[in-house]
């Protein structure tokens, strides 16, 4: 009987211990999820209400403000300071009259329209001894006019054997839109207003209305469509020149568009951009989705280096024999900036290392280094920083929660590490993709 009671007690204890372990694991899981949700909430609040600046100032006061780039330069000795109080008297300067601010001369290349204003009454015997000139900037708003082309017709006398007399007339110059009423200047104005100044067509209609002419929106839409067809050969030439380059940067951005298959609604398409770094040519490609088929189609015949963010759609280029894939250090930095509220010490360490790399880049840029000089300074200065940063990432990955902001930042960086460090291999490569993003 006693033995049965003891077995029951042991069984109950085992069940309670098992339940306690399950509850402890559940509590730990809930704590982790709670921390994760707090981080996500803080991130969304910062995205909506926080500062958009990416400037980073380290909390460590002893962090150097300028990186020494001379390997042979000895470390500076610590500076000891003493405080002393100094008192003195000085005479207060007499306040002088404020001079009239100097006005810069107006640009000499602008045309001058002269207006001479004589006195209402010039007495007899008055002699001109000089003149005072006043210049003002003026603007004559865009004016619309009708270009009237007159082509005289001539009839030639009948020649032997001809049934009718021949009439000759000059050929009409080619027009962007055959038989259209819009001339090249007006069409160029509409295109620049829409695609450079970002003015919707309805605003252009109002501007033209103030000039005394009225057009329907459908008319302007048709003009824009026909002009885009005319520009397509130029686009193909730019595309060909871009693909000739061996170093491209790329990025994509969502854009709301209207399509015929969804009247009255918008569709989220994607605008892909490809930038030839050396030639400074930028070509855009529109696709209905973010599928990797877009860049694969555009870069089908490309041979060289592609720099992009960590989007998985670019992974296929890392496995292609004729292409090299670079990553973007600025995206890594943003990940650690987002982790400042989660793990400030680790996030700041990572951002300081990235800051050191950028200080080297800025030094080379400000001193106008050649590609070979950039390569040399990166091997001497940047490579040791990258190796130290990589060791730190590997050591800390196992010490943080994978779903935390700092865990995601470390995992993101290690996943792209081989692509990130490739910028050290060539002085032509850039450390990030920022110039491409600015164009987007």
Summarize pLDDT for 382-403 with one digit per residue, the tens: 999 999 999 999 999 999 998 8
Give CA torsion, residues 158, 164, 169, 173, to 10 deg.
Answer: -140
pLDDT band at 71 (very low <50, low <70, confident <90, very high): very low
**In sequence order, what are the residues at sequence separation of 6 or more whose Cβ sits closer than 8 angstroms to the Cβ of residue 329?**
354, 357, 358, 420, 423, 431, 432
- Give the DSSP H/E element, type plus range, for residue 329: helix 329-338
SS3 percent helix, strand, coil of the chain, rounded to 5, is 45, 10, 45
With a cut of 90, say whether residue 82 has pLDDT above it.
Answer: no
Helix or strand or coil: residue 174?
coil
Say if pTM beats, i.e. exceeds, 0.75.
Answer: no
Task: Please tell me the predicted confidence (pLDDT) of residue 62.
Answer: 45
The domain covering 245-326 belongs, at the CATH homologous superfamily level, to Ribonuclease H-like superfamily/Ribonuclease H (3.30.420.10)
DSSP 378-439: IIIIIHHHHHHHHHHHHHHHTTS-TTSHHHHHHHHHHHTHHHHGGGGG-TTS-S-SHHHHHH
Percent of the chain with pLDDT over 70: 83
Higher-confidence residue of 264 and 419: namely 419
Q: At what angle do helices 217-244 and 201-210 cross, to 10 degrees?
A: 120
Percent of the chain with pLDDT over 90: 44
CA 246 to chain centre: 21
pLDDT band at 160 (very low <50, low <70, confident <90, very high): confident
**In sequence order, what are the residues at sequence separation of 6 or more whose Cβ sits closer than 8 angstroms to the Cβ of residue 242?**
248, 274, 276, 279, 281, 282, 283
Q: What is the mean pLDDT of the chain?
A: 84
């Amino acid at each position: 009987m006693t033995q049965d009671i003891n077995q029951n007690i042991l069984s109950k204890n085992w069940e309670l211990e098992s339940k306690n372990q399950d509850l402890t694991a559940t509590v730990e899981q809930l704590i982790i999820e709670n921390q994760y949700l707090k981080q996500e909430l803080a991130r969304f609040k910062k995205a909506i209400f926080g500062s958009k600046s990416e400037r980073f100032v380290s909390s460590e006061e002893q962090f150097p403000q300028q990186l020494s780039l001379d390997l042979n330069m000895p470390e500076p000795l610590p500076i000891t300071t003493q405080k002393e109080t100094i008192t003195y008297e000085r005479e207060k300067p007499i306040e002088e009259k404020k001079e009239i601010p100097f006005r810069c001369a107006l640009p000499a290349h602008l045309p001058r329209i002269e207006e001479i204003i004589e006195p209402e009454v010039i007495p007899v015997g008055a002699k001109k001894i000089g003149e005072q000139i006043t210049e003002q900037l003026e603007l004559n708003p865009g004016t619309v006019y009708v270009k009237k082309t007159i082509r005289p017709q001539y009839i030639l006398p009948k020649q032997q054997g001809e049934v009718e007399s021949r009439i000759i007339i000059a050929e009409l110059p080619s027009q962007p839109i055959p038989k259209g009423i819009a001339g090249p200047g007006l069409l160029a104005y509409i295109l620049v207003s829409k695609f450079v100044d970002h003015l919707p067509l309805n605003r252009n209609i109002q501007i033209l209305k103030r000039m005394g002419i009225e057009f329907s929106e459908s008319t302007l839409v048709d003009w824009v469509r026909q002009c885009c067809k005319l520009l397509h050969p130029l686009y193909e030439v730019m595309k060909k020149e871009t693909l000739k380059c061996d170093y491209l940067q790329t990025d994509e951005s969502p854009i709301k568009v209207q399509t015929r298959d969804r009247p009255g609604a918008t569709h989220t398409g994607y605008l892909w951009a490809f930038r030839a770094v050396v030639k400074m040519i930028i070509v855009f490609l529109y696709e209905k989705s973010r599928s990797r088929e877009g860049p694969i189609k555009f870069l089908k015949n490309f041979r060289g280096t592609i720099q992009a963010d960590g989007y998985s759609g670019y992974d296929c280029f890392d496995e292609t024999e004729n292409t090299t894939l670079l990553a973007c250090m600025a995206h890594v930095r943003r990940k650690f900036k987002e982790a400042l509220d989660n793990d400030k010490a680790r996030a700041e360490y990572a951002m300081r290392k990235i800051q050191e790399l950028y200080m080297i880049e800025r030094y080379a840029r400000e001193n106008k280094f050649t590609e070979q000089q950039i390569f040399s300074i990166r091997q001497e200065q940047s490579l040791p920083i990258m190796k130290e940063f990589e060791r730190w990432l590997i050591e800390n990955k196992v010490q943080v929660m994978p779903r935390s902001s700092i865990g995601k930042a470390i995992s993101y960086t290690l996943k792209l590490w081989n692509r990130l460090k490739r910028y050290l291999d060539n002085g032509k490569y850039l450390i990030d993709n920022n110039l491409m993003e600015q164009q987007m």
